Structure 1
Amino acid sequence: MSAMSRFDLPGLNLPLSWVPRSKSYKGPAEGEGRDLIKTALNETDMQDGWTRLPLTTLREITMMQIMNALTDKPGWEEKVFDNAIAEKWKAEAMATEDRDVTQKMMDWVIAELRWKADNFKKTGIVNVYNGDVVKSDVAISQDLKLSLRSAVEKLENIPVNRKDYHPGSDGKVLDLVHPSLFPLIYGRSRILHDRLLGLDDCIQNSGRGEVIAIPPKGEDNNTSVRRRGYPAPADPYSRKFQWLPCDVDISEPTRVTITSYINNLHPEYHPDLYSIIESVIGKAIPLWNRSLSPLIEHDFHQRINYSLAFSADPDDVSEEEKPQREANESENAYYERIWEWEENYRVAEQPEPEAFTPPKLANHIDLHKDYGHRGLQIIVKLANIELSPEKPTYDGGSWHVEGQMNEHICATALYYFDNENITESYLAFRQQSSTEDADDLGYPQGVHGWLEEVYGCENYGPGVQKIGTITCSENRLLTFPNVLQHQVQPFSLVDRSKHGHRKILALFLVDPGIRVISTANVPPQQKEWWAEEVDRQTGGTKKAIGGLSKELRDMIFEEAGDFPIAMEEAKELRLELMEERKHYSTRLEEAFEENTFSLCEH
């Protein structure tokens, strides 16, 4: 395995599409010697089936949704062992009219929750949906939550004309820290080739470095290979922009240290917020371990193993009992009628779980243990959704995964730290499911209705299943991998005469097996930060540069050239980035649904 320096990065001394790999028949190991975690950012991963979860019965999806709801109840980890309460929960679930819930399903649910409760008491963490989606309402202490609220106020309490509402949000989404502002810009951003920036020297180096080259289009793109039966994948890499992560030291098992600046969060003005975000990252790491572990060995827990059977089958009906051909009815019309009768008569037998058996705990990844020697890279976002009597509703978002391949995001952590005067809100998830699992079930000629009855899917339809939602309750820490698409659901004000909000800290984890260009390589690009530093070094506003007046000095700042970048231009560049990612996201959504069911007619 060839040695690599901290300056051998995709887009800097390496092809933009370079990825590490483990030793195989293709050649020796490269980089860390580990293959990257599979994500739905990569069409080739999707086409090869690496991002697909097992095809999941509707009943199992219902069981996971019930367990999610029950683990939202305060004290569930104790109550589940009270037989009277457990029986009450079973009865309530089975009495729900719009759900297919049986005694055996609920027996499994209670047994699994009792098994999970023991682990929850030790960790405060619970896995909810396969993939895995993981939640905790106790990982973040009340003191830490209140400290975060207080520290964020400095970003919020600024003049209205300086507030940055996200483009296209109708003035409802206030960006406090967003990676689309001042990203890495190929052919424009300056980068250091010989040293790494820390928190103490990043501001002083604003404007320094060499302009990074635009990556050539002719590079061998080893992460985007055309597969037979699929359209050629879209180029998953941008040759214009990359979000910039900060570097994070996790070499000590109980300590997390941000070692390079968070893009768009001034390290000298917000040291307390840096410290708080470090603490939240530390709390998110155990949840990320849970979310990512199943992907390492493609090992997903299945509660129901299904074998196709029918509770009512036309083949068991005698010819005399079947509809008879009517007088003057054509043969084709009769066979069409018989086919419709058989379709309506045949009912797929709904599966039941067996007795609960504990799954193997998939501890295939431990970020501290596996990557403590090199650290993590994390992209930070802080945003408020603000509603008012004039704008009382939030319409929700689209199905998506985070980022482009430039960032190699493998998982997300969301922390909801302040909800006020809003209705209950949810984050929905959907998975790619293995269509081959359906092919492996023996089914009669031309009989496909069971696919919808048992799995909620349609023949010739996409191999995609909606698996459920998570409540975005205050103080909830939530993690999930980038193989699942997620979608913010609509919500609104409770009291429409008052204002309301939801405040979120988002952490996007760069695949720890690869390093990308980060804020350790790129000095701050904000012209405002640079001008303030020049002011500081020359004695401030009362001491002119070279004897010049403040007015002339301000003119010099204004005419300093196209770098560092002024806020007005940064917002224009953000629109370019958003438009590019909009097109890529649309293509990814199509690719997410490209693998379809194609049951044979035999």
Structure 2
Amino acid sequence: MSSSDEFCIDKLCIDEINQMFPTKALYETHYFQPKTRVEMRMIKASALIRSAPEWAEQLNDESKRQEWTTQVKDDLKLTDMEVVYVFRELKYYARLKANGVDGEELAAIDGVWINNATSDSDLADEFKNNAAVLENDFAQVHSGEASAASSTGFRALVDPFMYPLMTKESLILTKPIGSPEDALNPELPRVKPESLEDWHKTINDINEHKSNNGYIGDKRKLPRVIRQYLSGLLHEFYGCWLPTNFDVCEDGTVTIRSYINNLHPTRYAALYQTISKVFAKLMPLLEQVATDMIHLRASRAVFNRDELFAPGMLKPYAIAEMVRQGVPLPEEYHKFVANSDAYAYERSWHDINIVKGVELDMTELENAYKEAEVYTEPAPQHFCPSNRPIKPYSMRGLPLQASVEMSSINLTPENPTHPEGEWQAVGRPEERVFAVGLYFYDVENIASPKLKFRDPVSRSLFYDPNDFYDFCASHDIVSVLDPYHSCVYTQEVGEVEIKNGSYVCYPNYYQTKMPLFELADPTRPGHVKYIAFNIVDPMYKLVSTELVPPQQPGWTDATSSPEATAEAIKNMERLKSSHFRSSRDESRFRPKLHTGDY
């Protein structure tokens, strides 16, 4: 397919995606090349200019361009070459903006799309009113409870960890349901597979009688995730989230085809209708994200180990060799020595200190090395638009799946802050989450709420072990300890400001966290309320609430068992623990993309 042909495509074709990614799917997509300091400066400059109202219309205004040039040179220290690159890139972004939905923009982070200009106040009011019913019910059920979550004001209104899919425990319907309300019928035939073999056979038998409408070959077969991952990862206990089926119609409207796990379909029927409208509003952003993932952009300024240092410059590892060989160190050695973390894997400094008896103040050496700024920054590449189509691929007409969660953070003058969250990726491998869509439906009296992003970095990208610290310094890469006490590496790539009514959609190769929240006016209460859609890779069809009947006590009968509820909470904590281990710090949920070397 030629680049000219791609600009005419307006329909996402699963076959074409499969051809582009013959060995992996969208959810495995990742930016393998971290960003240099130069590239991060240019991204910040671009975002600074795009934060101005009507920036696209002012690009051809010479006086405005000169004003922006002066600003980014003074504030961000951009060179002339970097400024030229930024303005060429902005012209490309202006084309994307002109061909997109009103208000949608590429954020200050590659691949992240936002819409802060959606002016559908009726939908916002409708969502707040319908969500208020859920919030009131939640408050009544949990009134009087004292917990860490309640003391910080966090409420998980719809929690996908509750009543998940549990192998050998969850029941399976012998026929898929046709609507969320159908799931409440206690007469629906169901079976309980007693083993993994029975589980596989049951799912396959149901799939053979299921219509193939909307599915593309083997890529859309229902049990693929079961065959590929369940026996390897879930054979002992682990469960996984239960996604909901969403049908995206050709006219852009969305229909919810199965119940949302932990959201009663009749009690909150009005909220179901509103959620479908919000999902439809997110679709243009999701299409942009998916298109970006298929056409990953090139780096703006590339790390080149041959040009990183001036000729003859003494490198950090040379100092280590001098100590090993007993050669006296030059007086300026402390300006060139890497920190202890950099050599932790090679045990260089450990061996030096013991064998040679040299005492080194690592903190002093690290700070001196950073202050020296001995490396030469790379020049930006020549800007060339990628073969990404200006008009994104359409996902209309495709059946999609997503697990849904709703949360709120409520602050008061008595509890005016919410602590900073932990870095996390969304989901485990078997959940196949390729993108996350967020709608912040009610944000009030919170001081500068933001969502931060970072990317794991593979040690295999360091080219040569001797270039490790050089590479980290030129990219602002930091090392952290994962739960298994391995040293791993990450790069913070930016943040998105959260506004009332913001829509945000991002690829799930990023890790995110919410920083400290605090009241803007400490005398009044404030809150951040949002709904999240953890969207399954469209090339896969997972076991969903279409096939698993409600597991919540009282949904299909009039009784509620305290024992069943206690068991569900126990399972929830165990499942959260497994997710936490797989997503914390650097550890990606995709085994092949772990940044540590295992």
State if a TM-score over 0.5 links the two structures: yes
Post-superposition shift, 1:83? 3.1
Give the match for residue 262 of structure 2.
264
Which of these residues, 98, 121, 126, is aligned with residue 105 of structure 2?
126
The correspondence of residues 195-234 of structure 1 with structure 2, limited to 5 A, is 195-205=176-186, 209-213=190-194, 215=196
Residue 388 of structure 1 contacts residue 499 of structure 1 at CA under 8 Å; is this kept in 2? yes
Q: Tell whether 2:149 aligns with 1:169.
A: yes
Equivalent position SS for 1:578 = helix
Which of these residues, 474, 499, 504, is aligned with residue 454 of structure 1?
474
Give the match for residue 517 of structure 2.
491
Q: Residue type matched to 1:428 in 2?
A: K
Equivalent position SS for 1:391 = coil
Give the match for residue 328 of structure 2.
334
Equivalent position SS for 1:95 = helix
Give the match for residue 241 of structure 1.
239
**How many residues are matched?**
503
* Larger helix percent: 2
The CA distance in 1 between the partners of 2:55 and 2:70, in whole Å, is: 16
Q: Tell whether 2:54 aligns with 1:75.
A: yes
Residue 199 of structure 1 contacts residue 261 of structure 1 at CA under 8 Å; is this kept in 2? yes
The CA distance in 1 between the partners of 2:582 and 2:501, in whole Å, is: 33
Give the match for residue 150 of structure 1.
129
Post-superposition shift, 1:285? 2.2
Residue 287 of structure 1 contacts residue 479 of structure 1 at CA under 8 Å; is this kept in 2? yes
Post-superposition shift, 1:592? 9.3
Q: Tell whether 2:364 aligns with 1:387.
A: no
Cα offsets for 1:243-292 (capped at 9, x unmatched): 11111112424222111111222222333322222122222222222223
Identity of aligned residues (%): 23
Give the match for residue 549 of structure 2.
523
Cα offsets for 1:524-557 (capped at 9, x unmatched): 222233345xxxxxxxxxxxxxxxxxxxxxxxx3
Q: Residue type matched to 1:115 in 2?
A: Y
The CA distance in 2 between the partners of 1:210 and 1:568, in whole Å, is: 23
Residues 385, 274 of structure 1: alpha-carbon distance in 2 compared, 3 angstrom cutoff: same
Deviates more, 1:267-276 or 1:466-475: 267-276
Structure 1 alignment gaps of length 5 or more: 1-20, 24-28, 40-44, 225-233, 317-330, 533-556, 598-602
Give the match for residue 160 of structure 2.
179
Residue 36 of structure 1 contacts residue 513 of structure 1 at CA under 8 Å; is this kept in 2? no
Give the match for residue 275 of structure 2.
277
Give the match for residue 428 of structure 1.
452
Equivalent position SS for 2:182 = coil
Residue 248 of structure 2 contacts residue 395 of structure 2 at CA under 8 Å; is this kept in 1? yes
Equivalent position SS for 1:157 = helix
Give the match for residue 194 of structure 1.
175
Q: Residue type matched to 1:512 in 2?
A: P
Post-superposition shift, 1:414? 0.9
The CA distance in 2 between the partners of 1:159 and 1:377, in whole Å, is: 26
Deviates more, 1:346-355 or 1:246-255: 346-355
Q: Tell whether 2:71 aligns with 1:101.
A: no
Cα offsets for 1:203-228 (capped at 9, x unmatched): 2237862224453799999868xxxx
Cα offsets for 1:425-471 (capped at 9, x unmatched): 2211112346555428xxxx956654244222479974532111111
Residue 127 of structure 1 contacts residue 135 of structure 1 at CA under 8 Å; is this kept in 2? yes
The CA distance in 2 between the partners of 1:356 and 1:186, in whole Å, is: 50
The CA distance in 2 between the partners of 1:57 and 1:166, in whole Å, is: 46
Residue 246 of structure 1 contacts residue 260 of structure 1 at CA under 8 Å; is this kept in 2? yes
Residues 267, 157 of structure 1: alpha-carbon distance in 2 compared, 3 angstrom cutoff: same
Post-superposition shift, 1:391? 1.4
Cα offsets for 1:389-429 (capped at 9, x unmatched): 22111112111111122322111011112111111122111
Post-superposition shift, 1:77? 3.0
The correspondence of residues 548-587 of structure 1 with structure 2, limited to 5 A, is 557=559, 565=564, 567=565, 569-586=567-584
Give the match for residue 64 of structure 1.
43
Residues 363, 263 of structure 1: alpha-carbon distance in 2 compared, 3 angstrom cutoff: farther
Structure 2 alignment gaps of length 5 or more: 1-13, 201-224, 315-324, 338-368, 480-485
Residue 181 of structure 2 contacts residue 259 of structure 2 at CA under 8 Å; is this kept in 1? no
Residue 449 of structure 2 contacts residue 499 of structure 2 at CA under 8 Å; is this kept in 1? yes
Q: Tell whether 2:85 aligns with 1:85.
A: no
Give the match for residue 350 of structure 1.
377
Q: Tell whether 2:94 aligns with 1:117.
A: yes
Q: Give the greater-gyration-radius structure (CA).
A: 1
Give the match for residue 115 of structure 2.
136
Which of these residues, 432, 442, 461, is aligned with residue 418 of structure 1?
442
Q: Residue type matched to 1:143 in 2?
A: D
Residue 177 of structure 1 contacts residue 265 of structure 1 at CA under 8 Å; is this kept in 2? yes
Residue 64 of structure 1 contacts residue 129 of structure 1 at CA under 8 Å; is this kept in 2? yes
The CA distance in 2 between the partners of 1:471 and 1:262, in whole Å, is: 28
The CA distance in 1 between the partners of 2:234 and 2:582, in whole Å, is: 8
Residues 310, 60 of structure 1: alpha-carbon distance in 2 compared, 3 angstrom cutoff: closer
Which of these residues, 21, 25, 30, is aligned with residue 37 of structure 1?
25
Post-superposition shift, 1:501? 0.2
Cα offsets for 1:304-341 (capped at 9, x unmatched): 2444436754469xxxxxxxxxxxxxx94634447557
The CA distance in 1 between the partners of 2:226 and 2:268, in whole Å, is: 40
The CA distance in 2 between the partners of 1:487 and 1:238, in whole Å, is: 30
Q: Tell whether 2:463 aligns with 1:439.
A: yes
Post-superposition shift, 1:594? 5.5
Post-superposition shift, 1:73? 3.6
Equivalent position SS for 1:512 = coil
Q: Residue type matched to 2:25 in 1?
A: I
Equivalent position SS for 1:417 = strand
Q: Residue type matched to 2:114 in 1?
A: K
